[in-house]
């Protein structure tokens, strides 16, 4: 089993309000993603067993939603918003700066498996541009100094 007892209990809790079990697919995928960091066929099978819907229906829904990585990512998934409001305030140069600092290209993971860097579409933080999301947290009004501090803190925490 990949999903731990906490996640399984959380999925069951989230199933409760729905009149139909299938509605729990997305919340279940979210719980799995938060535990594991990415989704996989094995996770779809486990979710299928927990919420009692066919495997294919879980896989079919999951494949539609790009928010969930389908391959392993680093401990910290850095998602830089590169849509218009962030782009107007330098999102592209923010990505370049992160590439330089982490010594990887966009889409890659650092050799210590700590950071994965990707660009994403609008994260709904337009008035706080430029910004990035690392795992579940938003980091806004970014400057080089702020980015340096954030990366240093995350490295220390790891």
Partner 1 sequence: MEKKILFKYIDDPNQINIATYIDHGGYKAWEKALRGMTPAQLIDEVKKSGLRGRGGAGFPAGLKWSFVPKDSPKPRYLICNADESEPGTCKDRVLLEHDPHAVIEGMAIAAYAIGSHLAFCYVRGEFAHPASVMERAIEEAYRKGMLGKNIFGTGYDLDMAVHTGGGAYICGEETALLNSLEGERGMSRIRPPFPAIEGLYSCPTVVNNVETLASVPPIINNGADWYASMGTEKSKGTKIFSLSGHVKRPGNYEVVLGTPLSFLVNDLGGGMLDGHKLKAVIPGGSSTPFLKPEQIDTPLDYESLAAAGSMLGSGGVIVIDDRTCMVWVIERLIHFYKHESCGKCTPCREGTGWLEQIISRIEQGEGKPGDLEKIDSICDNILGRTICPLGDAAVMPIQSALKLFRDEFQYHIDNKKCLVKSEFEFK
| Cα–Cα distance for residue pair 29/38, rounded to 1 Å | 9
Q: Give the contact letters, 82-111, x = binds to partner 1 (CB under 8 A), - = no.
A: xxxx-xxxxxxxx--x--------------
Nearest residue (CB) to partner 1, 111 versus 141: 141
Provide the token pair at 116: 């994965």
Scanning 70-78, 103-111, 115-123, 150-158 for contacts with partner 1 by CB under 8 A, the matching segment is: 115-123
Smallest gap from Cβ 77 to partner 1, in A, equals 11
Query: For residues 140, 144, 147 and 148, what is the CA-based torsion angle, rounded to 10 degrees?
Result: -160
**Residue 26 near partner 1 by CB under 8 A:** yes
**Residue 73 near partner 1 by CB under 8 A:** no
Binding-site size, partner 1 (CB under 8 A): 55
Pairing of strands 137-139, 132-134: antiparallel
Nearest residue (CB) to partner 1, 23 versus 40: 23
Nearest residue (CB) to partner 1, 18 versus 153: 18
Q: Which of 47, 9, 6, 7 is nearest to 26 (CA)?
A: 47
Provide the token pair at 148: 């340096």
Scanning 2-10, 23-31, 102-110, 149-157 for contacts with partner 1 by CB under 8 A, the matching segment is: 23-31
Q: What is the DSSP string of 98-110?
A: HHHHHT--TT-B-
| Cα–Cα distance for residue pair 151/76, rounded to 1 Å | 10
With tokens 């094995």, the residue in question is: 42
For binding to partner 1 (CB under 8 A), which residues are involved?
A: 16-17, 19-20, 22-27, 29-30, 34, 53, 57, 60-68, 82-85, 87-94, 97, 120-130, 133, 136-138, 142-144
């Amino acid at each position: 089993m990949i999903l731990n007892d906490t996640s399984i209990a959380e999925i069951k809790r989230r199933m409760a309000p729905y009149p139909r079990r299938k509605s729990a697919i997305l919340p279940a995928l979210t719980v799995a993603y938060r535990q594991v960091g990415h989704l996989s066929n094995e996770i779809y099978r486990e979710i299928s067993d927990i919420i009692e819907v066919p495997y294919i229906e879980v896989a079919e829904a999951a494949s539609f939603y790009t928010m969930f990585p389908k391959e392993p990512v680093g401990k910290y998934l850095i998602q830089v918003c590169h849509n218009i409001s962030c782009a107007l305030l330098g999102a592209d140069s923010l990505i370049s700066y992160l590439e330089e600092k982490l010594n990887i290209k966009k889409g890659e993971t650092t050799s210590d498996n700590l950071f994965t860097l990707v660009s994403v579409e609008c994260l709904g933080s337009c008035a706080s541009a430029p910004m990035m999301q690392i795992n579940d947290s938003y980091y806004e009004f970014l400057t080089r100094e702020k980015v340096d501090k954030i990366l240093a803190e995350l490295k220390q925490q790891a």
